[in-house]
């Protein structure tokens, strides 16, 4: 099984900022989310992480060796990194949503993210068919992996939402990948409910 895990929350996520290659650590809630995920998910045969701190901190909670793969890094938002979404005007959002090859100023296109993630997924297919491979990554690469599993284009990313510390599962044991779970937050959502 290919198990895709979005990192736990950072203060920038909590504040609703676009967060690409900027490298803040997890906030206290994010650390707790990561700890809960590590307890809830089966011990992986392989554990892979984006090189960014928030992903590595989440991966390290699993207590097994972490392989860092740069292909799982978040999209480069260029000059929009750590800015509110409102920084980009309506025309800018329209261009980005209508054209997967559109590159925000100084950044990276959805198509470029999709290309690197599809290659990473293809390399993990056999290992994930034999045992759980957990990849700790970010919103855009996880959406690209889901698009790969469904056999659809990169533009589908705008129709998905991935929460902090969410889990997606892709079965790679057959002739084509199958998406079994998307945006599953049940493990940490239940554990972090306030006591009544």
Q: Cα(88)–Cα(177) distance, rounded to whole angstroms?
A: 35
pLDDT at 105: 86
Domains of the chain: 2-190 (3.40.50.1240)
Q: Cα(96)–Cα(172) distance, rounded to whole angstroms?
A: 31
pLDDT grade for 189, boundaries at 50, 70 and 90 = low
pLDDT grade for 191, boundaries at 50, 70 and 90 = low
Q: Cα(194)–Cα(97) distance, rounded to whole angstroms?
A: 38
79 C-beta neighbours (distance < 10 Å), count: 12
pLDDT grade for 193, boundaries at 50, 70 and 90 = low
Predicted confidence (pLDDT) at residue 194 exceeds the cutoff of 90: no
133-137 and 178-184: which strand pairing?
Answer: unpaired
pLDDT at 57: 98
- Condensed to tens digits (0 to 9), the pLDDT of residues 76-101 reads 999 999 999 999 999 999 999 999 99
């Amino acid at each position: 099984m290919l198990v895709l895990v979005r990192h736990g929350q950072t203060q920038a996520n909590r504040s609703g900022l676009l967060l690409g290659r900027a490298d803040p650590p997890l906030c206290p809630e994010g650390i707790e989310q990561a700890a809960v995920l590590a307890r809830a998910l089966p011990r992986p045969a392989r554990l892979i992480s984006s090189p960014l701190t928030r992903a590595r901190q989440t991966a390290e909670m699993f207590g097994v060796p972490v392989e860092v793969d740069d292909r799982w890094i978040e999209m480069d938002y260029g000059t929009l990194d750590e800015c509110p979404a409102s920084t980009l005007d309506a025309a800018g959002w329209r261009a980005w949503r209508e054209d997967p090859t559109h590159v925000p100023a100084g950044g990276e296109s959805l198509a470029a993210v999709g290309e690197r993630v599809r290659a990473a997924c293809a390399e993990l297919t056999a290992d994930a068919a034999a045992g759980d491979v957990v990849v700790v990554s970010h919103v855009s690469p996880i959406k690209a992996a889901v698009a790969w599993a469904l056999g659809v284009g990169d533009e589908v990313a705008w129709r998905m939402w991935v929460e902090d510390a969410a889990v997606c599962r892709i079965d790679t044991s057959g002739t084509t990948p199958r998406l079994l779970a998307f945006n599953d937050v049940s493990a940490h959502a239940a554990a972090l409910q306030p006591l009544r």
